[in-house]
Amino acid sequence: MLEGRPETVENLMVPSGSSGGSNSVGGGSLNMGGSNRSSGWTSFDLGVLEEPFPDANEESEEVTHPNPRANPFQAIPPEPDLDSVKEIMRDRLLVHRLGQRQATVSETEINRIVELKGQILDRMSQLDFNPFWAQRRNTLIRDYLRPPRGGEFKISVLEAKLQELFGENATRSSIYYELVRAREYFHIDGPFRGPRAAV
């Protein structure tokens, strides 16, 4: 700052001896010579300086969108009743057996499949101490412990899987690992019955 000369906007922005048009800003005179480059300032420069500054008190609006994965427990429907589970399993077997000579499903067969699946889940609750097996029992009977190609496991296959869970190395059996994996992925695949749902 020059001695004896106050440091004002006019003194900082307008070199001495400059010529051209002027515009009043804050009571002072600013050079508006758009074509006079010797002054160091153009009309564009001054126009930018005259633009108002954003209000510091203004807060930008934040738009939030719900995350369907934030709480996966809310997306899981309530437990179905056992009668509806049996109806779905019967229809599933009928569709799977279309084209066969005897495309029928007996009540005895359905009841036995449901019974074996229930025994498998009971055994899992003993090996894997988790309330999941009791809380989601009917859903697991309906949607899990199924062959990947559709339909239902044969009764003999379910009996073999149950025997594995009563063997000496039950917690190392394939059915044990498959069901534990189903529990871990249930809250992801459960509502949609995705590829990991068929154990």
What distance in Å separates the CA atoms of residue 55 and residue 48, rounded to the nearest whole number?
A: 17
Q: What is the pLDDT of residue 177?
A: 93
Q: What is the pLDDT of residue 194?
A: 40
Q: What is the pLDDT of residue 24?
A: 46
Task: Count CB-CB contacts under 10 A for residue 143.
Answer: 21
Is there a contact between 198 and 146 (Cβ–Cβ < 8 Å)?
yes
Q: What is the pLDDT of residue 40?
A: 64
Q: Three-state SS string across the chain, please?
A: CCCCCCCCHHHHHCCCCCCCCEEEECCEEEECCCCCHHHCCCHHHHHHHHCCCCCCCCCCCCCCCCCCCCCHHHHCCCCCCHHHHHHHHHHHHHHHCCCCCCCCCCHHHHHHHHHHHHHHHHHHHHHCCCCHHHHCHHHHHHHCCCCCCCCCCCHHHHHHHHHHHCCCCHHHCHHHHHHHHHHHHHHHHCCCCCCCCCC
Dihedral sign for Cα atoms in the order 35, 37, 38, 39 = positive
What distance in Å separates the CA atoms of residue 145 and residue 153, rounded to the nearest whole number?
A: 7
Phi, psi of 30 (to 5 degrees): -115, 145
Q: What is the pLDDT of residue 51?
A: 62
What distance in Å separates the CA atoms of residue 117 and residue 155, rounded to the nearest whole number?
A: 10
Q: What is the pLDDT of residue 198?
A: 44
Which residue stretches of the chain have pLDDT < 70? Answer: 1-76, 187-199
